[in-house]
C-alpha cells in the first residue's frame, strides 16, 4: 500500500493525544453535535441525491448507475474483527460467536499464551496493572492464559461483540453479580466443569490458570451470536488520508506504578511491536507481541462499584482517540451509544478513521494516557530491545 510522503520535523509536535482546550464538556459537546448533524445531512443526501457513486466500507468508491444492464462486483467477504478477506468456507465458520478470555498481565504471568492469535485484544486499566480481554474469532486457540478475573467495565464493553463466550476466573461478589447480569455467555471457572480449567504447576499461583479454546467453545448455544465488525478498514490500494502523521512509537499509561507498555513501529516487519517491563513482550512461543493497529481511546475512570481501588472505565459517551496504523497516527474522537454498539472513530472533521486489515490492540486508557515516542527513542528500543 502506497504511503504518502511526508517530511518529519525535528520533533513530534505533540507528545500527548490531541484534545480540545479547556473544559471537555461544553466545547466538545457542541463540536460533536455539529459532526453528528453533518453526518446526518451526508446520509440524507446519499439516500435522496442523484450521485453516481457510493462509498464502501474502507473508503473505496463503487460505481453505480441507473442502467439495468450495469453490474457491480459483489463485495469480498472479510473477517468481521480483522477486515481480512476470507473464503466462503471461512465465512460460514465465522458464524460462530467470539470467545473472549480475560488474561493476566502481571510480570509473574508473563509470558502469556494466546495473545498473538487474537483478532482484537482489549487492554484495560485495573488497580494493579493493565489486564487483557483477548478476543478470538477468525483463529482457533488451544492453550490460553493465565486466566484471571473479570472487571465491572467488562459488562459494558463485551456485549458489543454480539453474544460472546467470556472466560474468566475469580472476582469478588460484586463483580460476579454484575457479570452474571451482563448480556454475554459466561463460561467462567465457577460455571463450567472443574477440569475445563487447569493449573500449570511450573507457574506461581494465582498466575497459572489456563484453559483450552476448543473446550470453552463447546459451551456455545444457538443464542450465542457472532460479532459484527468493530472497525472500518482500508480497501486494497487506499492511501492514508492527509490527517495521518508519522509516528515512530507510543507509550500507554494505565495509571499504575508498573512499567508502561510501549509500541514501536517496526518498518521492516510492517507492524507495531510491544515492549513491557524493560524489554520485548513475548508470548510462550518466544514471539514478540505485535499488532497491525493500536487504537487508544481515552476514557474517564471512576472508583469501581465492586471495589473502590479498581478503576471502572466509562466506555460510552465520547472522548479523544488516537489510531496508530502503518507507522502513522490519526487523532480524533470516539463515540459509543451503549453496551451493544462498537466504538465509532472519526477524525476532527467527522470523517471515519480507517484501520489496516489485521489484528488490533484496543487500549482503554485514562485521559492523557497516550504519549508519542520520539524517533531516536524508538530507534534505540528497536536496536537494543531495551526500554527507557
Q: What is the mean pLDDT of residues 205-215?
A: 97
169: cell is: 476466573
261 found inside a domain = yes
78 found inside a domain = no
Q: Residue 368 belongs to a domain with what CATH number? A: 3.50.90.10
Same-domain check for residues 213 and 249? no
202, 217, 232 — which closes off a domain?
217
pLDDT of residue 129: 84
Q: What's the angle, vertex CA 87, arms to CA 75 and CA 132, rounded to 5? A: 95
CA distance 235 to 133: 27
Q: How confident is the model at residue 4 (pLDDT cuts 50, 70, 90)?
A: very low
Enclosing domain of residue 365: 245-384
Q: How confident is the model at residue 236 (pLDDT cuts 50, 70, 90)?
A: very high
17 found inside a domain = no
Window from 66-75, 142-151, 379-388 with minimum mean pLDDT: 66-75
146: cell is: 493465565
358: cell is: 489485521
Window from 35-49, 179-193, 277-291 with minimum mean pLDDT: 35-49
Cβ atoms of 114 and 141 within 8 Å: the answer is yes
116 found inside a domain = yes
Percent of the chain with pLDDT over 70: 80
Same-domain check for residues 250 and 212? no
Question: Which among 274, 293, 291 is positioned nearest to 233, based on CA atoms?
Answer: 293
Instruction: Collect all residues with Cβ–Cβ distance below 8 Å to 312 and sequence separation of at least 6.
Output: 151, 152, 153, 301, 302, 303, 304, 305
Instruction: Collect all residues with Cβ–Cβ distance below 8 Å to 250 and sequence separation of at least 6.
Output: 262, 263, 294, 296, 322, 324, 329, 370, 371, 372, 373
Question: Which among 167, 166, 135 is positioned nearest to 231, based on CA atoms?
Answer: 135
Q: What is the mean pLDDT of residues 8-28?
A: 33
pLDDT of residue 20: 31
Sheet with 209-212, side-by-side order of all strands: 143-144, 209-212, 197-199
233 found inside a domain = no
pLDDT of residue 50: 35
More confident residue, 293 or 258: 293
pLDDT of residue 73: 65
Same-domain check for residues 179 and 249? no
Q: What is the mean pLDDT of residues 5-34?
A: 34
Same-domain check for residues 296 and 332? yes
Same-domain check for residues 309 and 184? no
Q: How many domains is the chain partitioned into structurally?
A: 2
Window from 28-37, 65-74, 181-190, 324-333 with minimum mean pLDDT: 28-37
Each residue's pLDDT tens digit, 95-119: 999 999 999 999 999 999 999 999 9
Same-domain check for residues 275 and 335? yes
Q: What's the angle, vertex CA 224, arms to CA 78 and CA 360, rounded to 5? A: 40
Q: pTM of this prediction?
A: 0.82
Instruction: Collect all residues with Cβ–Cβ distance below 8 Å to 219 and sequence separation of at least 6.
Output: 165, 185, 187, 192
83 found inside a domain = no
DSSP string, 191-210: TS-GGGEEE-TTS-TTTTEE
More confident residue, 56 or 313: 313
118 found inside a domain = yes
Same-domain check for residues 213 and 150? yes
Q: What is the mean pLDDT of residues 209-216?
A: 98
154: cell is: 467488562
Same-domain check for residues 200 and 314? no
Same-domain check for residues 115 and 170? yes
281 found inside a domain = yes
Same-domain check for residues 341 and 253? yes
Amino acid at each position: 500500500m502506497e504511503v504518502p510522503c511526508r517530511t518529519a520535523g525535528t520533533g513530534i509536535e505533540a507528545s500527548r493525544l490531541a484534545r480540545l482546550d479547556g473544559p471537555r464538556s461544553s466545547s466538545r459537546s457542541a463540536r460533536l453535535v455539529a459532526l453528528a448533524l453533518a453526518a446526518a445531512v451526508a446520509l440524507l443526501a446519499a439516500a435522496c441525491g442523484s450521485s453516481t457513486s457510493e462509498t464502501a466500507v474502507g473508503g473505496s468508491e463503487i460505481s453505480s448507475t441507473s442502467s439495468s444492464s450495469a453490474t457491480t462486483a459483489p463485495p469480498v467477504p472479510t473477517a468481521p474483527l480483522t477486515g481480512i478477506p476470507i473464503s466462503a468456507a471461512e465465512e460460514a465458520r465465522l458464524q460462530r460467536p467470539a470467545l473472549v478470555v480475560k488474561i493476566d498481565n502481571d510480570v509473574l504471568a508473563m509470558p502469556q499464551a494466546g495473545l498473538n492469535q487474537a483478532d482484537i485484544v482489549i487492554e484495560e486499566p485495573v488497580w494493579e496493572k493493565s489486564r487483557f480481554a483477548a478476543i478470538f474469532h477468525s483463529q482457533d486457540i488451544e492453550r490460553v492464559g493465565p486466566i484471571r478475573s473479570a472487571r465491572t467495565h467488562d459488562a459494558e464493553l463485551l456485549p458489543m461483540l454480539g453474544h460472546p463466550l467470556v472466560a474468566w476466573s475469580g472476582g469478588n461478589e460484586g463483580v460476579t453479580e454484575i457479570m452474571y447480569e451482563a448480556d454475554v455467555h459466561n463460561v467462567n471457572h465457577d460455571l463450567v466443569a472443574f477440569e475445563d480449567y487447569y493449573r500449570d504447576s511450573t507457574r506461581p499461583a494465582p498466575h497459572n490458570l489456563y484453559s483450552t479454546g476448543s473446550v470453552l467453545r463447546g459451551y456455545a448455544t444457538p443464542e450465542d451470536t457472532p460479532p459484527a465488525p468493530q472497525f472500518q478498514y482500508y480497501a486494497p490500494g487506499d492511501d492514508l488520508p492527509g490527517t495521518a502523521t508519522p509516528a515512530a512509537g507510543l507509550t500507554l499509561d494505565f495509571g499504575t506504578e508498573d512499567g508502561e507498555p510501549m509500541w514501536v513501529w517496526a518498518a521492516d516487519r510492517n507492524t507495531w511491536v510491544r515492549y513491557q517491563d524493560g524489554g520485548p513482550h513475548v508470548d510462550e512461543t518466544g514471539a514478540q507481541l505485535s499488532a497491525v493497529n493500536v487504537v487508544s481511546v481515552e476514557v474517564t475512570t471512576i472508583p469501581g462499584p465492586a471495589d473502590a481501588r479498581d478503576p471502572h472505565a466509562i466506555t460510552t459517551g465520547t472522548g479523544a482517540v488516537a489510531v496508530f496504523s502503518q507507522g502513522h497516527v490519526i487523532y480524533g474522537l470516539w463515540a459509543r451509544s451503549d453496551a451493544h454498539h462498537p466504538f465509532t472513530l472519526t477524525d476532527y472533521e467527522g470523517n471515519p478513521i480507517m484501520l489496516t486489515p489485521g489484528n488490533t490492540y484496543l487500549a482503554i486508557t485514562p485521559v492523557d494516557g497516550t504519549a508519542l515516542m520520539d524517533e531516536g527513542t524508538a530507534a534505540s528500543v528497536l536496536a537494543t530491545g531495551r526500554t527507557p
